[in-house]
Structure 1
Amino acid sequence: MKFIQLFCFLSLSALFNTKALQGDKPEAVVDKQGNPLKPGEGYYVFPLWADNGGITLGQTRNKTCPLDVIRNPEAIGSPVYFYEYEHDYIPTLTDLTVEIPILGSPCSERKVWKISKEGTRARFWFVSTGGFPGNLFSQFKIERLEGEHAYEIYSFLYCPSVPGTLCAPVGTFVDTDGTKVMALGAGIEEPYYVRFQKASTFTQNKNQDFSGV
């Protein structure tokens, strides 16, 4: 009798453990066509509600290196690359390495995103470059906006999967010269909502204005 009870218990445990494992697969981030984002492929990051263009890199603050992540005020922006090593797609709410590998940059640092403390300003960080894959300061997440009609709308988080670390949405800070710099922390309450477009499938017309995308 005890053997039968033990067998039933182990069978039920295996069943529930299997369901738990099946439910652990994270949701894929998708582009505007509904296709999952792929690691190592470039995507334009379009604003959802803005009069500005997409994400790229620029010299801000004291106009020195490393480059910061900004919203391009004039054009489409630069392709952004995402890396995650456990799936063949880019998942939501999972630690990611993010990179904008611009050629001919005036700065030699790697173009991997990281958070960078801004002087003595309390609880405020710019999203900058010069990071390293796997480093705590370079672990970003993509979060989907909740809602029936928000399937392809996302925002960035700096929220490493390490207990006790900072967890905050990435929004926009307007620099002294008007540059819109991606930042997080004190005073950055509204996430920057975006959609993704695979760079290799996007046709750009000459002088096309993308400010309303």
Structure 2
Amino acid sequence: MKFTPLFCFLSLLVLFNAKPLQGAEPEAVLDKQGKRLKPGKGYYVWQFWADNIGGLTLGTTRNKTCPLDVIRNPKAIGSPVYFSAPGLTYIPTQTDLTIEIPIVGSPCKESKVWKLSKEGSGFWFVSTGGVAGDLISKFKIEKLEGDIDVPIYIFKFCPSVPGVLCAPVGTFTDTDGTKVLAVGDDLEPYYVRFQRVSAFPQEI
């Protein structure tokens, strides 16, 4: 898969403010208790086979500079993640979302909204510093299909605009062992479930 031409086309679409495609109303994303994810509520994001560990948070990678990247901490509960979908009172699948991890006390002043950040040929980190509504800050949650007892999801960078890059978010292991969310080739798949923060005690 060659990403470079698609990324250039994606940049052009940002300039021309392309409008998203319209589709049927999608189903709601469900947390581990079977309840709909809600805008403005915090959720831990865990790999589907693990509880209480491996959560998402923010950290410095690459040159250890700002903005922060979205990483998995295999030994911790992670930080609350917030989702928003304009005009909706729940978080749906297959819909453009703004995703944010608003950690407190960060040395980086950029927004904590996710965005796609180019790292090299055919490879992009999921970073922060995004702006709600911008094309490079539009992510989706997709439900895995099949004979599965519980709902399992993946993140995708797949803006609802014709011809733009559409690919799942996986995990890239950095040179120091940090697991960074990324879009590109040869990444570890990242299948997740969601846990409402208020239903689970936060670590101090």
TM-score (norm 1): 0.81
Equivalent residues of 2:96, 2:139 under 8 A apart: yes
Equivalent residues of 1:46, 1:54 under 8 A apart: yes
User: Separation in 1 of the partners of 2:75 and 2:150?
Assistant: 27
Q: Which residue pairs with 2:140 in the alignment?
A: 141
Classify 1:50/1:183 alpha carbon distance in 2 versus 1 (closer, same or farther; 3 Å). farther
Q: Which residue pairs with 1:87 in the alignment?
A: 88
Secondary structure of 1:137's aligned partner: helix
Q: Which residue pairs with 2:200 in the alignment?
A: 202
Q: Which residue pairs with 1:45 in the alignment?
A: 45
TM-score (norm 2): 0.84
Equivalent residues of 1:37, 1:90 under 8 A apart: yes
Q: Which residue pairs with 1:97 in the alignment?
A: 98
Letter in structure 1 aligned against 2:39: P
Runs of 4+ in 1 over 6 A off after TM superposition: none
Post-superposition offset of 1:186: 2.3
Query: Aligned-pair RMSD on alpha carbons?
Result: 1.9
Matched, 1:184 2:183: yes
Secondary structure of 2:33's aligned partner: coil
Q: Which residue pairs with 2:168 in the alignment?
A: 169
User: Separation in 1 of the partners of 2:166 and 2:134?
Assistant: 15
Give me the identity figure in percent. Answer: 70
Q: Which residue pairs with 1:157 in the alignment?
A: 156
Secondary structure of 1:30's aligned partner: coil
Letter in structure 1 aligned against 2:123: F
In our comparison, the structure showing a higher alpha carbon Rg is 1
Equivalent residues of 2:172, 2:181 under 8 A apart: yes
For these two proteins, the number of residue pairs brought into alignment is 182
Post-superposition offset of 1:25: 2.0
